[in-house]
Chain A
Amino acid sequence: MSVETRVEQKLPQGVGRLTPGWLVFFAVSFVVFVIGIGAYSYQLSNGLIVTGMRSTGTMGGATWGLYVVMVEYFIGVSLAGVVLAAFVEVFNIGALRPVSRLAVLLTIASLSTGVLGVLLDLGSPFRGFVNMLLYVRPQSAFFGTFMLVAVGVLMTSLVYLYLGGRRDAATIAGTPSGLRWFHKLWAAGYRDTEPERERHRRVMFWLSIGLVPLVIVALSTEGLVFGIQVGRPGWYGSLQGPDFIVLAAASGLANLVVLTAIIRRAVGARIPLGHAVFKWLGSLLLAATAASLYFQTVKTFTLLYATPGNERLIADALLRGPYAWIFWSSLVLMVVAMILLVSQAATGAWSVPAVVAASVAISTAAVAERYLTVIPSQTHGMLLPYEPGSYFPTWVEFAVVGGLFALGAILIGGFVKVFPIINLNSNRREVRTDA
């Protein structure tokens, strides 16, 4: 295509250049996404009966299943990106500046999928959307999910992404291409004058200052969704919020590491994603994983001492019961990741594959952890002597969740083809050389 050929040589980081690898990636994502839509339509017309979810109690099911597990996971993942970007902004951490846009994009993508996941889980999604606007109650923890996370954090991240990219947009808006209108629109008249830069720095500073507590508070409500439940063994407690945040940070950083590695490989070594970035990310991941593992260990010990009675139901289910394999494997994954990260930190020899491996382990463990938070307290946490229940997702749930992942992939994958994912102005010289 002529347009492509023209822009190919002009725009940085492969923007506008559809490589075969990217096309395959995008096509696969698209197919998975369409399958997800198909599965969801099936669910919409038949009801949630097509999922593995069932009522708790007499029906012996879990009324919240994989969707909520993944919502918790996605929203958790979203934490790290925008917070990292804010830190970069506030503390001016140059080494991480290249990935700050990717980080914010990760937040936006995972928040979008997470919030969409909430809607997909509703019995009456359309009514849910409207009634949330009309009636949502602050006393319900969903107020946090809806107002603070879905609206507050997501919109702030969008503003963050937008304002943060304006300078780069202006930079590439001069390059003739089929996307030039878009870049111009984004730049919105930015001319990189000193007052503009100053204003930008000021806005970003205050936005970052406001953003961090908002994100922490908003995402803590995700933990609170469970933490305020007096009626469920395994849930009630003030640690649910912090626990959620710590694991969120770890899983978010892990995802960022993986994404960075992918971008690095896809876009090539010419972009400023050296070992320094992975060292930073690896170190941060190490800190988050350590904290998470600490929470996990404390939790495990507490479970071991659970007294006969309600909490014991959950303890037994987790440590010895039907969820033991998930519980122990996730713990093993965390420990393995920890060993990988600590050994690198100790030797100072950071290897990209090793950090990525640790990240994959942590991300997987995070899904498992979210699962263990959401499900067992429903199937095994009934305070009345109902028989223990069980839950296993159906193909519909797997397909819909697959669709959510695909949507995230499409958002990120699509973005990198219309806008430079690595901050052009983080290392202007290199970028210029590149161009």
Chain B
Amino acid sequence: MTKYAMVVDLNRCQGCRGCTTACKVENNTVEGNFWMHVFRFEQGSFPDTEMSFLPRPCQHCDNAPCVKVCPVGARFKREDGLVLTDADRCIGCRYCELACPYGVNYFNWQDPEKAQYSVVDWKDSDLQPVTDGVVPPYKNPDLDELWGEEQRRTAGGGHAKGIMEKCTFCVQRVEKDLDPACVETCPTDALVFGDIDDPGTPISLYLRENRTWQLLEEAGTRPSVYYVGGTPPSSELKEIERPKATV
């Protein structure tokens, strides 16, 4: 069996948000939606302060609260560990978002084209010959495809108003044996992705050689994301340099 998981090595993470950007480009997510969010934290007061970073993808929990509450089975857990959202099934009740203690769900509050960094006119007529009018111009056709054995539209579905979406571990890349976009781009290799059922993969090695912890272990969600280094976030932390997340 294949069981995908991710390691986030906080001893290496620079908090650069390259992962966030790669995710946004790969998955064409709209403004304000951060499937991969990177917290930047500060704690203490001068001169005894500390800073830390914390990338927060979907935790792809083995005991996923979002899956349990989904009324229509749009949110489901695959045997290989991925927790996905069927864009054809979702009714937009946002119950999964309430159930998730990590805050990883993002709803399409409006027509995605309008939310697609519309300060720039992607429909500009001089751009049309190159892009054929697609919005955004880097629109990834894979997102509209059906993926996995279950053949459901789980890669974001090209986004649609009124439905929920979240990090997919880049199912469209994983199915092609590629790393998720965030992992691929991470400048300091702080993100590791792979099959933890296979002892020979780099991630299995990483898990054997490092002490790990998980986000909100007490919530019993059994995440598929393992953190190395750093410390679990506490309420002492103050988030700084927040992205513009309002829509």
Contacts and interface: CB of A to CB of B under 8 A. Distances in A.
Interface in B98-135: 98-111, 115
Interface residues of B, number: 58
A48 B243 contact: no
A203 to B, nearest CB: 33
A47 B109 contact: yes
Contact of A123 (B65, B68, B107): B107
A132 interface: yes
Contacts of B202: none
Contacts of A58: 32, 34, 37, 103, 242-243, 245
Given A48-B162, A140-B70, A385-B235, A64 B98 contact: yes
A213 interface: no
A308 B235 contact: yes
B1 interface: no
Contact of B98 (A48, A125, A378): A378
Interface stretch (B3-11, B177-185, B191-199, B213-221): B213-221
Interface of A (DSSP majority class): loop
A228 B65 CA distance: 9
Interface residues of A, number: 51
B72 interface: yes
A51 to B, nearest CB: 8
Given A140-B71, A384-B103, A123 B91 contact: yes
Interface stretch (A229-237, A266-274, A277-285, A292-300): A229-237
Most central of A49, A312, A384, A387 by chain B CB within 10 Å? A384
Nearest to A230: B219
Lowest 5 CB-CB distances: which A-B pairs, in order? A123-B92, A57-B103, A231-B101, A123-B162, A142-B71
B246 A383 contact: no
B247 A232 contact: no
Contact of B72 (A47, A56, A132, A141): A132
B95 interface: yes
28 contacts: A47-B108, A47-B162, A53-B109, A58-B32, A58-B242, A58-B245, A60-B246, A64-B98, A122-B92, A123-B92, A124-B92, A124-B162, A125-B91, A128-B92, A128-B93, A131-B72, A132-B72, A134-B72, A140-B95, A143-B71, A146-B71, A230-B221, A231-B99, A231-B216, A310-B235, A383-B101, A384-B101, A387-B242
Contacts, number: 173
Contacts of B107: 48, 55, 63, 123
A141 B68 CA distance: 9
Interface string A137-167: 1011111001000000000000000000000
Contacts of B237: 385
Interface in B211-247: 215-216, 219-221, 233-235, 237-239, 242-243, 245-247
B164 interface: yes
B108 A229 contact: no
Contact of A141 (B39, B69, B115): B69
Given A59-B32, A387-B239, A49 B247 contact: yes
B72 A55 contact: no
A89 interface: no
B219 to A, nearest CB: 5
